[in-house]
A and B are shown apart, each in its own frame.
Chain A
Amino acid sequence: MKRREFFALGAALGGGPWPATGAEHPRKDPPRGGTTLALDGERQFWREAAHYQKLPESRVECRLCPRRCQVADQENGWCGVRLNERGTYYTTVFGRPVTIANDPIEKKPLFHYKPGSLTLSLATAGCNFECLFCQNWEISQFRPEQIPARYGFVSPEDLVELAKRQGSRSLSFTYAEPVVFFEYALATARASKAAGLPGVMISNGFIESAPMDELLQELGAVKIDFKAFDDKFYQRQCRGTLEPVLRTMERIRKAGVWLELVHLTVPTLNDDAEQAKRLCGWVLEKLGPDVPVHFTRFHPTYKLKNLPATPPATLERQYDIARKAGLRYAYLGNLPGHEGENTRCHGCRETLIRRVGFTVLENRLREGKCPKCGEKIPGVWS
């Protein structure tokens, strides 16, 4: 795609919210079928990977995420977007987004970060998890060459320029998993920070400490999908592990970068009250009471179609558990119009921000404070 055509895309991005289906969903192109690019065309997206170790016999060990894949020549890592060619490890998705959209920040969801603003959102193919309930599996579970490179090469600077033209107030790495497009996300976060547009990372948090620390220097906010307070859930439903995710959340807090958490509540798998209590207890102890936790509704999808959508009553129970545990900001998600979408002052319980789906109906905050009791509300408000 030529530069001019790329920026003309702006009109197609819409600049407004996607239909409030509840789930954060990228603009979907059928990834299957249709020729992508010839061999040489794909090479333009290759950059030598960060955080890997060369091993004997042209093998490499990736040290970007705790999976630490050992990859033989000509093979991909587990995430499918990193490739060993003759002992040099490459990311194959630098400048190769498969989806770009200008979303409300509420869609991420981030409720205490520039509410009502738009964030230019992008993803490449690939993920270092395989959640059986992934809503975006059509990009996260495919390799780049299986999804047409509809935008051609998009540099970090192009993204910043597009964000400015679109009136976005941040740039989000989202939909699939930014960990696996680390190099592209980092370069883009640097460029956007320099332009006054903070980078936002929407992630599973399954990343090694060194690359996470690099990202944290550039980011304005992070949302972590805290899938369960149960390692077995991580192993069986996501093919990951819990401990590194806990470590990442603590690092984000320590770095002072704004953090919110989402817990997708899946009937029978991670919806029991005891687990919710332990999860909330951990958040309170390690991250503090001001980190918002969103309990969101599961809808059957991908490889988990034999379970019903989460009953609203289950989510309401999670909400109560969080509040009782001492978390000041619990939310309910994927329940448009529910009272649990609103922000209320932790001091006087005054409703401060009213929302429906991804739309902010009213924001009564005054310089980040409750207009009634004057309490300072944690978050980044401007």
Chain B
Amino acid sequence: MGAGCLRKVPMDRRKFLQTLGLASAAAGLSSAGAACARSAAQKPAGDGRSRVALVTDPGVRRGEEIDAKRVERLLRATLEKALGSANLAGVLPADEVVGIKLNCLAGRPLSPALPLVEALIKILSDAGIPRERVIVFERGERDLRRGGFTPGEHDGVRYLGNDSAGAGYEEEPEISGQLGSCLSRILTRRIGAMINLGVLKDHSLAGLGAGTKNLYGLIHNPNKYHDNGCDPYLADLLAMPVVQKRLCLTILDGLTAQCHGGPGFSPAHAWSYNSLLASRDVIALDRVAWDVIEERRKQTGLPPLERENRAPRWLRTAASRGLGTDEMIRILVLREVLS
């Protein structure tokens, strides 16, 4: 347990603030902290394509449960493919508090798996980011609980909702395109880097409730931005400088995925996909996720999302603004099946 360790070592002021998750707050909002070690939203492979890893481990479950060791191995393999190395120090700014944004709306059966979150925290630790510099967060404490997480501090890691004491939202709305929202103070003041940990699933309005859609948990009023299949609002949110600055990596939990009936859990449309996806380009990642969802829909006799008038058009909008890549020809999909 790292918690005791940090408490015993005398700290300078910066380190002290970091462990409180206040380094960014202390540095101010707009230009706080170092940006993720990447250029804008594009994270090209050597040939200019965005890298998306899609790695499967058919043996990741032990019975109904996710095997902690196997999921850690799976995550390492996925990161290795997406980033060229499983060492997250290469993509996260040094000395910043790292936020892991979950998506627990659907409850435990379709939220990021607990062993997966724990594996990610361990990998962060290996990269020199101690548990005390990690905040796992969600829209509200209620969402965390629904996903099986208990708000509060556990072994040094803080689990927070935007409604947790000391969290909340910024006082004034930030305008970006057609979107105007008060941003989560966890995002703006308590973390310097964010790993977006969503779920591979369908969304009744946005078409896809995977990577980009998970960012709606960063604003106070997502209910106002579901019109027109969330287009252009998702792109507007992704374009916000503070989001661009913090968002370093997106991982999708596809251990259990769902091709229809989202964002809530619909057992009839969920399946054990036993896979993880990751990319530094959230739009490219969602583009690949869309294909996975469509493939499963086809297999199970469901019509394409387009026919239900809910194809994720916002992907095109985001890509046209340079926020990522939505053309498969410009995406390098790195697949692997672990044995």
Could you tell me which A residues sit within 8 Å of B by CB distance?
A: 30, 32-36, 38-39, 42, 57-59, 70, 72-80, 86, 130, 141-143, 145-146, 239, 302-303
22 contacts across the A-B interface (CB closer than 8 A):
A32-B182, A33-B167, A33-B185, A34-B163, A35-B163, A35-B165, A38-B141, A38-B142, A42-B142, A72-B205, A73-B265, A73-B266, A74-B263, A75-B263, A142-B220, A143-B223, A145-B142, A146-B162, A146-B169, A146-B220, A302-B173, A303-B180
A74 touches which of B162, B175, B264 (Cβ 8 Å) = B264
Are the C-beta atoms of B163 and A77 separated by less than 8 Å?
Answer: no
Q: Which residues of B contact A141 (CB under 8 A)?
A: 220-221, 224
Q: Which residues of B contact A86 (CB under 8 A)?
A: 264
Residue of A nearest to B140 (CB): A145
Question: For chain B residues 158-182, which have a beta carbon within 8 Å of chain A?
Answer: 162-171, 173, 175, 180, 182
Those 7 A-B pairs whose CB atoms lie nearest each other, nearest first: A33-B168, A73-B264, A32-B168, A72-B204, A74-B264, A32-B169, A80-B223
| Secondary structure class of chain A's binding surface, majority of residues | loop
Q: Does B105 contact A (CB under 8 A)?
A: yes
A57 touches which of B142, B163, B175, B261 (Cβ 8 Å) = B261
Are the C-beta atoms of A35 and B141 separated by less than 8 Å?
Answer: yes
Are the C-beta atoms of B224 and A130 separated by less than 8 Å?
Answer: yes
Are the C-beta atoms of B262 and A72 separated by less than 8 Å?
Answer: yes
Are the C-beta atoms of B165 and A34 separated by less than 8 Å?
Answer: yes
CB of A156 to closest CB in B, whole Å: 26
B165 touches which of A33, A38, A70 (Cβ 8 Å) = A33
Residue of A nearest to B107 (CB): A74
> For the complex, what is the distance from the CA of A79 to the CA of B227, rounded to whole Å?
12
Residue of A nearest to B146 (CB): A39
Question: For chain B residues 202-244, which have a beta carbon within 8 Å of chain A?
Answer: 203-205, 220-221, 223-224, 226-227
Q: Does B145 contact A (CB under 8 A)?
A: yes
Residue of A nearest to B221 (CB): A141
How would residues 24 to 57 of chain B score, 1 for a CB under 8 Å from any chain A CB and 0 otherwise? 0000000000000000000000000000000000
Q: Which residues of A contact B204 (CB under 8 A)?
A: 59, 70, 72, 75
Are the C-beta atoms of A35 and B266 separated by less than 8 Å?
Answer: no
> For the complex, what is the distance from the CA of A182 to the CA of B292, rounded to whole Å?
42
CB contact under 8 A between A36 and B264, given known A76-B223, A78-B223: no
Are the C-beta atoms of A80 and B264 separated by less than 8 Å?
Answer: no
18 new A-B contacts, CB < 8 A, other than A32-B168, A39-B142, A77-B223, are A32-B182, A34-B163, A36-B163, A39-B145, A42-B142, A58-B264, A59-B204, A72-B203, A72-B204, A72-B205, A73-B263, A73-B265, A75-B204, A80-B224, A86-B264, A143-B220, A302-B173, A303-B173
CB of A300 to closest CB in B, whole Å: 13
Q: Does B106 contact A (CB under 8 A)?
A: yes
Question: For chain B residues 123-165, which have a beta carbon within 8 Å of chain A?
Answer: 140-142, 145-146, 162-165
> For the complex, what is the distance from the CA of A14 to the CA of B168, rounded to whole Å?
29
Residue of A nearest to B170 (CB): A32
> For the complex, what is the distance from the CA of A58 to the CA of B264, rounded to whole Å?
9
Are the C-beta atoms of B226 and A78 separated by less than 8 Å?
Answer: yes
Are the C-beta atoms of A80 and B263 separated by less than 8 Å?
Answer: no
> For the complex, what is the distance from the CA of A58 to the CA of B261, rounded to whole Å?
8
Q: Which residues of B contact A302 (CB under 8 A)?
A: 173
Which interface residue of B106, B142, B203 has the most chain A CB atoms within 10 A?
A: B142
CB contact under 8 A between A32 and B145, given known A57-B261, A73-B266, A145-B140: no
> For the complex, what is the distance from the CA of A42 to the CA of B170, rounded to whole Å?
23
Residue of B nearest to A33 (CB): B168
CB of A82 to closest CB in B, whole Å: 9
> For the complex, what is the distance from the CA of A79 to the CA of B224, rounded to whole Å?
7
> For the complex, what is the distance from the CA of A75 to the CA of B163, rounded to whole Å?
18
Residue of B nearest to A81 (CB): B223
> For the complex, what is the distance from the CA of A74 to the CA of B143, rounded to whole Å?
11
> For the complex, what is the distance from the CA of A77 to the CA of B226, rounded to whole Å?
9
Q: Which residues of A contact B140 (CB under 8 A)?
A: 145-146
Are the C-beta atoms of B105 and A33 separated by less than 8 Å?
Answer: no
Q: Which residues of A contact B107 (CB under 8 A)?
A: 74
Are the C-beta atoms of A34 and B264 separated by less than 8 Å?
Answer: no
> For the complex, what is the distance from the CA of A130 to the CA of B141, rounded to whole Å?
26
CB contact under 8 A between A74 and B167, given known A33-B185, A42-B142, A80-B223: no
Q: Which residues of B contact A34 (CB under 8 A)?
A: 163, 165, 168
